[in-house]
Structures are given as structure tokens and as C-alpha cells.
Amino acid sequence: MASVSKPAVMRRMQEIAHVDVNCFYASAERAFNPSLEGKPVIVLSNNDGCAVTRSPEAKRLGIAMGDPWFKLRPRAKEWGLVALSSNYELYGDISARVMELLGRYSAWLEVYSIDEAFLGVKGEPDELLDLGREMKAACRRHVGVPVCVGIAPTTGTAAYSRVTYSSNFPWGVHHLTGVQGGRCCSSGP
């Protein structure tokens, strides 16, 4: 008797997407000043005392979150470092645009912070990855900011997926299945 292989069962379940704007304040500044693209950019705290956001280029220079501006200033010209004062009106506007855009993808949207949201998504694994890529492209195209997207069965595993996997790829998208989520979370610290 010949064995008959069964087709893989594709699941079409409700999942959670965690969307995070990368280097939010720096990305918001770049959205309105494209000449900052590719340059090391930091955004300073309220009193311009320390770095509160660093672009990837600034991170590669070894600038840490909270580094005091008075220690960075002497090397700023040498590094080509652009230091900007915080512009909360701009960041609020960009955040509202991102959240409005994400709301088009789901009836359930939970704004988690100024640059993060969770939303309910439904589909087969390949469809979910395509949806994540579509959200990523739409945020870049319509708002001008890069995002990472993690998709998984719960808010915790969606955030874990985005932080652990998506961040390893520039502005990435990752779908963590229930089986993977159980394995990775049980082997975590």
C-alpha cells in the first residue's frame, strides 16, 4: 500500500503584530529633513543634556543612550555628528500619522507608546509576512519613517519576535509561529 502524504495544514488565525518605529526621534527628524539620511544623528534631552535617540550611524560611533552632550560635542565635527534638540510637536505629529496608517490594517489597534503599537492581524503565515512587509513599506512611503514588525500569537511573543529577530535585519519583518514562540520563550533567560 502506497503512503499518501497529507498537504500541510495552513492556519488562518488571529495573531498580533508589534510595530515599532526605528530610532523614532531621529527617524522623525529625517522624515522632514532628508539631508540627515546616512549621517550620524542624535536627539538630545529636554535641556540638551544627553543623547536620548541615536541613529544607526551614531550607534556605530559608539554613542550610548544617555551620553552627555558636553562629552560628545568636542568630537561632533570630526564624526560629522548632527545633534538636535527634541521637537515633541513633530514627534507627536509623526506618531499620529503612523498610528492612523496602522489603524487601516486592523480593527484592533493598541497604541503602546509614541513609537510602538500592537494590532490584530489574520492570515496564513506567508500572508502575515506579506502584510508586515506592506505595513513597513507604507510607513516608509507615506510617513517617511522606517519600522520593524514582529508577528506572533501574543503581544509578548510579537514584541519578542520584533526585538530578537526583526532588529537583526535592517527595518525587518519577522513572523514567530506558536511553536517557535513556545521554544524561544522557554529557553530565554
Domain ranges of the chain: 13-22+93-186, 26-85
Q: Which residues of 61-99 are buried (b: 16+ CB within 10 A; e: fewer)?
A: bebeeebebeebeeeeeeeebbbbebeeeebeebbebbb
Q: Pick the catalytic residue from 116, 124, 127, 134.
A: 116
β strands within 22-107, DSSP E: 41-44, 51-54, 82-85
Active site residue 116: yes
What would the pLDDT profile of 124-179 be if each residue is shown by its tens digit? 888 998 999 999 999 999 999 999 888 888 777 777 666 665 555 545 777 776 54
Fold of 26-85: MutS, DNA mismatch repair protein, domain I (3.40.1170)
Question: Would you say domain 13-22+93-186 falls under CATH 1.10.1370.30?
Answer: no
This prediction's pTM: 0.81
What would the pLDDT profile of 58-96 be if each residue is shown by its tens digit? 999 999 999 999 999 999 999 999 999 999 999 999 999
What would the pLDDT profile of 17-60 be if each residue is shown by its tens digit? 999 999 999 999 999 999 999 999 999 999 999 999 999 999 99
